[in-house]
Amino acid sequence: MRFCVVKSKTIKICLVLVLVAILLSISINGATSAEVYFGYSTRKVPIYNVETEEKQVAISFDAAWGADKTKDILDILKEFDCRATFFLVGFWVDDYGEMVKAIDEAGMEIGTHSNTHHDMAKLDKNTIKEELETSSAKITAVTGKQVELFRAPFGSYNNDLLDVAESLNLKTIQWDVDSLDWKGLSANDISQRVLSRVKNGSIILMHNNSDHVLDGLRLILNRLKVQGYKVTAVGDLIYHDNFTIDRNGVQHKN
């Protein structure tokens, strides 16, 4: 009888261990529960912001549809003596080649935002590579410059995407300050969202053709200037070698 009791306890312990293993293997936002619980992760992350003591931030614009406001954005950036990064989708480059040239000639940085604006985390590696190579080639054909930065559509990524981007010498860039300008927010709301979240090393996300981007941008740049921030392109902010990226996406200089 005693043997049966011990055996029953052993079975229960085994069942509990199996249950724990299953729970710790469940994915939470792309990472396993074990990774979250024990504080480690095998999941790669792009650059969300940069650790720096300098009062410097980067501003970026995603361009996928429309270009009506892009020339005015360039004028405002010039007025405030700022550089910015424009992440361009391949089909946008096809439709607005002259505007791509104007962005480049204005001294702005250009990165790829994919070729077709699909959720690239759902694509296989070969298709991801084709998306990045095709879009980068289109930009280079206009500017004559190598593309060095990539932003994933919808901010959606996984290890395969980051691995392929890295193999093509592209740094994957996210953001830590989202203006939400695409939601039709007023200029004041856009600026308040950005200014309440910005800090040293922030990367600001905006869109080139959102409803109130022009007035919002002017308010943001004016206030950042008053606060003593230098506003640059992403490539002027990030570290290009000898760096690490922690699990929160903060890039650190080694």
184 in the same domain as 212:
yes
Structural domain tally of the chain? 2
**Which DSSP state fits 115?**
S
74 in the same domain as 17:
no
100 in the same domain as 226:
yes
Q: Alpha-carbon distance 50 to 59, whole Å?
A: 13
Query: What pLDDT was estimated at residue 11?
Result: 58
For 68-111, the pLDDT digits (tens) are 999 999 999 999 999 999 999 999 999 999 999 999 999 999 99
Do the domain assignments include residue 223?
A: yes
Domain range enclosing 15: 2-38
117 in the same domain as 11:
no
55 in the same domain as 27:
no
> For residue 229, what are the β-bridge partners?
none
53 in the same domain as 20:
no
166 in the same domain as 142:
yes
Query: What pLDDT was estimated at residue 38?
Result: 46
184 in the same domain as 123:
yes
For 12-30, the pLDDT digits (tens) are 555 645 554 554 444 433 3
**0.75 exceeded by pTM:** yes
For 155-192, the pLDDT digits (tens) are 999 999 999 999 999 999 999 999 999 999 999 999 99
Cα 242 to its chain centre, rounded Å, is 20
- Place 42 in a pLDDT band, splitting at 50, 70 and 90: confident
According to the per-residue pLDDT averaged within each range, which of 4-13, 35-44, 128-137 is highest? Answer: 128-137
8 in the same domain as 96:
no
Do the domain assignments include residue 44?
A: no
Beta carbons of 59 and 82 less than 8 angstroms apart: yes
Residue 3 in this model has a pLDDT that exceeds 50: no
57 in the same domain as 34:
no
125 in the same domain as 18:
no
Query: What pLDDT was estimated at residue 17?
Result: 56
Among the listed residues 211, 234, 216, the one whose alpha carbon sits nearest the alpha carbon of residue 69: 211
CATH code, domain with 78: 3.20.20.370
66 in the same domain as 15:
no
